[in-house]
Structure 1
Amino acid sequence: MVPLMCLKSMFQIDYRQFAQHFVMNSEVRSGTASAIADLREDEEDVYFSSYGHYGIHEEMIKDKVRTESYRDFIYQNSHIFKDKIVLDVGCGTGILSMFAAKAGAKQVIAVDQSEILYQAMDIVRLNGFKDTISLIKGRIEEVDLPVEKVDIIISEWMGYFLLFESMLDSVIYARDMYLAEGGSVYPDICTINLVAVGDLSKHADRFAFWDDVYGFRMSCMKKAVIPEAVVEVVDASTLISEACLIKVLLYSLNKNSQESRHKIRDSSSLFIVNSTFIDCLCQNSCVPFSVSPL
């Protein structure tokens, strides 16, 4: 393991491809695709099918930091939602739609392509919101809404490395197509950060393991294992650098602008103050919500 004092990173790739490569170790293609490039038909089917399974929705709802941040923002800023028409893009179980309805929204339109929408219909009825929340199955780009314009768009579109779940383009489409003048999209600002991580125990478990596997040498596996991303929660004590901000996404993002192509062109440096090895780069996506009245 070579001591490193400074790591410099140059990013010049498409956001979605970067995020997908980070998580899936897939090939990164160059080009000027949109923020969330169109999925191939088979990929799209797999993507939406995955959200028809209940486990992924249970995992998201049990993420208390994420779910309670949405809840607290909506409840503590109920004056924003009172008597407004709200569009929930990718509603899943309808949790955000119900937050908005409980905060006083006049009408909530919840759209989702996956089969979970049928469960959301039952959930909405069970909680007494069937007269406030309308649920529509389909892609936001293809469905017909019962209104021409909405006052607010909410969406829980963030995924691994912020952009991996391929929904940002849908949110931008909904904004450009349905948001009334003076309307709002929440969340309206997101950041992507990188930080260096060094964890000796995990390193040994993941890499040294291959030196002796039930009495057999499999060290050649290390070359295959090292490039693969690991999605997990890391202990704060394993961080060996300051977080490095590499991109900020704003509500004003224009799908047709050069900026919306989301090329990461920043030359970012992570300075390591202690002489140690860098096990991996850990991504941190920050979506700040104000829980104070706006």
Structure 2
Amino acid sequence: GYFLLFESMLDSVLYARDRYLADDGLVYPDRCNISLAAVGDTQKHCDRIAFWDDVYGFKMRCMKKAVIPEAVVEMLKPETVISKPAVVKTIDCGSVTVSELEFTVDFSLKITACTFCTAIVGYFDIFFDKSCGNKIMFSTAPDCTKTHWKQTVFLLESPIPVKTGEELPGQIVVHKNRKDPRALLITLDIAGRKQTYSLQ
């Protein structure tokens, strides 16, 4: 699923693994990483968020509260990524439990440009590694070959000024939406600014 965990598709794989896999059986892909990076795209932020400050002369700031919590699945321009990526979750598909797919992790993003952080992007990497003579992987990162999964973008309400070389601290909380187990609720706390996003 998008952001690897959307729609709880992995849950079905784990159920089948636990019920049908032989004792010496293997699951492929055997490892997955979820990563985050900072995004600096002031034009997109202006078009989607700041736009509501003045809509043809009308102040519609209240609309921001409805727009910001919606995570956006799209192809991100690689040049808008302004930090090194941080892996926030590594999943061993042979042993992970469904409960472990909900998690809270602190992270830090090393900034690579003097600009404004306008969003956080999430993506995943898949590895075919264990007992493989020909180890392969693929990534859904912005700078890799385009895939069906694209990337998941979490727009910030207000851009954060950042400088090259500094660390942007954050925390991510991922859990299922209790009202719809296929949907995800993702809370990001970036430099003390907290926002919960829905992926549904």
* TM category, shorter: 0.5 to 0.7
1:163 paired residue number: 5
Task: State the shift of 1:261 in Å.
Answer: 2.8
Give the residue type in structure 1 aligned to 2:113. N
1:117 paired residue number: none
1:226 paired residue number: 68
> Structure 1 residues 265 and 209 mapped into 2: Cα distance closer, same or farther (>3 Å)?
closer
Report the structure, 1 or 2, having the larger strand content. 2
TM-score scaled by length of structure 1: 0.41
Q: Distance in 2 between matches of 1:198 and 1:242?
A: 13
Q: Distance in 1 between matches of 2:120 and 2:82?
A: 10
Task: State the shift of 1:202 in Å.
Answer: 0.7
Pairs within 5 Å for 1:202-217: 202-217=44-59
Q: Distance in 2 between matches of 1:200 and 1:292?
A: 45
> Structure 1 residues 181 and 235 mapped into 2: Cα distance closer, same or farther (>3 Å)?
same
Unaligned runs of 5+ in 1: 1-158
1:187-241, Cα deviation, whole Å (9 max, x unpaired):
1111110011111211111123223324422133223322321111100000010
Q: Distance in 1 between matches of 2:66 and 2:134?
A: 50
Aligned pair count? 133
Unaligned runs of 5+ in 2: 136-200
- The one of 91, 95, 98 equivalent to 1:249 is 91
Report the structure, 1 or 2, having the larger helix content. 1
Report if aligned partners of 2:26, 2:94 keep a CA contact under 8 Å in 1.
no
| Secondary structure in 1 matching 2:71 | coil
> Structure 1 residues 255 and 223 mapped into 2: Cα distance closer, same or farther (>3 Å)?
closer
Task: State the shift of 1:277 in Å.
Answer: 1.8
Report if aligned partners of 2:83, 2:111 keep a CA contact under 8 Å in 1.
yes
1:261 paired residue number: 100
Structure with larger Rg:
1
Q: CA RMSD in A?
A: 2.4
1:286 paired residue number: 125
Report if aligned partners of 1:246, 1:264 keep a CA contact under 8 Å in 2.
no
Report if aligned partners of 1:172, 1:255 keep a CA contact under 8 Å in 2.
yes
Identity %: 53
